[in-house]
Structure 1
């Protein structure tokens, strides 16, 4: 019975401890807040002095043989409460001002980077490339600027101060790099076009094969590569949208 109870209770205890560890940093008061609470509590104690003063005086006289006189009046308690409230208000206002100034500095630094990236490497081009590849597994060579985009996103000169935006930019660079590597490994030139056009394994595609009819194994292999490609395109679209949303939201 004890083993059964322990089996069920231990996981519950572990989850409760983990939940407390996540919540505590959010509800833990700042040092200034704790100080304000202590001063206010002392003020409340003095404010209700008429209720506990006779008991304290009698106890000190009887058990300690000490005469307690001239205790601070309730007015001092009210004064302490006012001081605590004013102190807390000033600290909150100061922290709010610091946060606004910090956000202003971040915005002043990060916004030109977003504008420069949007001018040199518009994410609409990335969207167009992904759409072209997703539609028929082909793209024109001059559409592909993934390497330049990844380099720009990871350029130290384009390092964002906003941590959320920096993480989003790195994720976009990561998935764009993966897509670029995939295109290099699995796409090949096919057909005769004025612009160089590349396709996903054209010899395995029934509509593009120039060296005979693809076998069932060829078609299965093509389907496997196409599935991997679409998964990558989904990741790129999600990362691109996340970066666009965060750049507008964080720097608005």
Structure 2
């Protein structure tokens, strides 16, 4: 088993007034050659956007981009004419493929929005751009892992062009569980949304991250009321 630990305090940080962003991996002005990606996981940004503000239209291609609001609602528009609101409890994926331009802004003019922006390298290039969005019930992840993303439209959650699986879990203090890696050769990046946990002997706190690979399972203990995001991704590109 191999691991890499990223303490919350070691993340890159950018503050633009309307945007407060923390980068687990190299992004924008934060460039760290030791933290470019974890396997197919390329970007993990923890963003807070002020009321009424947002990202202007910008292009993407050949990337799977996942948006997960943690509080508040995010408004999305793109060059295909699509307009949608991604609400707290929703997960949206955009397969950029051959290319698409989109904008994201806070849907509220009075409250900030907090969301995760996650990029995953695809296993197919130049696909037709597409979207998938679903709503997930928080009670369905109480003391267990709720699958929110997979490689198949026939499986639970949104789907992407990659052999990746994402899970959310909300665990009471003292709960223990085991997570089985979904695919041989995959690794798992654990991101603590709230609380404290111990994963394979490593103590983790709010917004800490731990990458684990060369193993077939993770042993997880909630040391307090804990919310976790698990990203199970290929380690080779």
Q: TM-score range by the shorter chain?
A: under 0.3
TM-score by length of 2: 0.18
Larger radius of gyration: 1
Greater RCO between the two (CA within 8 Å, min separation 6)?
A: 2
Higher helix share: 1
Instruction: Give the TM-score normalised by structure 1.
Output: 0.18
